[in-house]
Structure 1
Amino acid sequence: MTNDAGFTCSCCGAQHPELPMAYSTAAPYVWDESFSDRSDCLLSSDQCVIQAQHYFLKGMIEIPVIGSDAVFSWGVWVSLSCENFIRAADRWDAAGRETEEPYFGWLSTDLSLYSPSTINLKAHVHTRPVGRRPLIELEPTEHPLAVEQRIGITLHRVREIAETVLHPAADNA
């Protein structure tokens, strides 16, 4: 969902045509492009293996937007044990995979908008029907991202996130 009217950016003053309701990262924070040519590494849009020792799945942290039916989403990576990664991969295209018990993992995406770091937050990976990325449920701590997932965010906060993502240098000015 996007806001068709867009929003006026407080950083640049421009009218942006829409308010993004989702952002995503291409790889776990530990991925390096030098891994691309290695036979013991893999990066797809949903799965990642690094040196046949570190295993990751991509999923969605979904955050309700208060006062609406909208959901804001972060596309993030979670590290899994080898056993859980293999189990998830074996069931990736299987009907009914959403009945799997959640897999424990560690958030492996650095969302720099949050402090302290989002790296290694405890998470549970809930598989969903084939064609849908897993739902990432953060452990209910006091970390700002976990709090947002639990209680939701305002549309104003969605705009703040958009401005920060669109203008990352503005934070350093």
Structure 2
Amino acid sequence: MDGFTCSKCGEFHAEFPMCFGAQFPAYYFSIPADERESRIELTESLCIIDDTHFFIRGRIEIPVIDSTEVFCWDVWTTLSEANFWRTNEVWHDPERVNEPAYFGWLQTSLPGYPETLNLKTLVHTQPVGSIPLIEVTEEGHPLSADQLSGITWQRVIELVEIALHGTAA
């Protein structure tokens, strides 16, 4: 899609973003700002808080119905300590694609959905240089249903508008 007229602001947006993301896991914000530097280790894809909470950044892909397009959310999810260190161990190994999926709890609240924080997930390792795919496995949640069944272009536009401008008025 080559842009759209936004129902929120009334302006034409030439770019049609198909991916939105979170810079930090939600738990990051529970740490006082003046303590973050000493308590948090953060890279683009991995995060450790207080040497006891482990996170990885990944991507939730939602197919667009009757299209080859995919709408994406870049999110954070927890990992167990063992799976976090295993992820680090195989980070540059081409064979990492053979790793079993890792269980986690979603650590990103996504706009346009009922609360998504702490939904059950599976982290699927991808080829070196590719972001892991996150599968939402929480039964009955609309995000999980969307990931399985896909969404319409109308829903994509709704999510883009909410992501760009906040919740519906």
**Structure 2 partner of 1:24:** 21
Where does the alignment leave 5 or more consecutive residues of structure 1 unmatched? none
Q: How far apart are 1:34 and its partner, in Å?
A: 3.6
Residue 166 of structure 1 and its aligned partner are, at CA, apart by: 1.5
1:10 to 7, 14, 30: 7
* Residues 82-140 of structure 1, C-alpha deviations (whole Å, 9 max, x = no match): 0000001111111111100000111011113211x101111100000000010001115
- TM-aligned CA distance change 1:35 to 1:127, over 3 Å: farther
TM-score by length of 2: 0.93
Match for residue 81 of structure 2?
Answer: 82
- 2:111 and 2:50 mapped to 1: Cα distance? 26
Please state how far the C-alpha of 1:141 moved relative to its aligned partner. Answer: 1.2
Match of 1:125 in 2: 123
Displaced runs of 4 or more, over 2 A = 32-36
Give distance in 2, aligned partners of 1:35 and 1:161: 34
SS in 2 for 1:130: coil
Q: TM-score, normalised by structure 1?
A: 0.91
- Relative distance call for 1:73 and 1:54 in structure 2 (3 A) is same
| Percent identity between the two aligned chains | 45
Q: 1:139-165: CA deviations, max 9, x gaps?
A: 151101001000001111111011111
Q: Distance in 1 between matches of 2:112 and 2:67?
A: 23
Listed as ranges, the gaps of 5+ residues in structure 2 are: none
SS in 2 for 1:96: helix
Are the counterparts in 1 of residues 111 and 163 from structure 2 also a CA contact under 8 Å?
no
Measured in 2, the distance between the counterparts of 1:35 and 1:55 equals: 17
**Per-residue deviation, 1:69:** 0.5
Q: Using the alignment, how far apart are the partners of 1:60 and 1:120 within structure 2?
A: 16
CA distance in structure 1 between the partners assigned to 2:141 and 2:35 by the alignment:
31
The CA RMSD measured in Å over matched residues stands at 1.3
Counterpart mapping for 1:73-152 below 5 A: 73-115=72-114, 117-139=115-137, 141-152=139-150
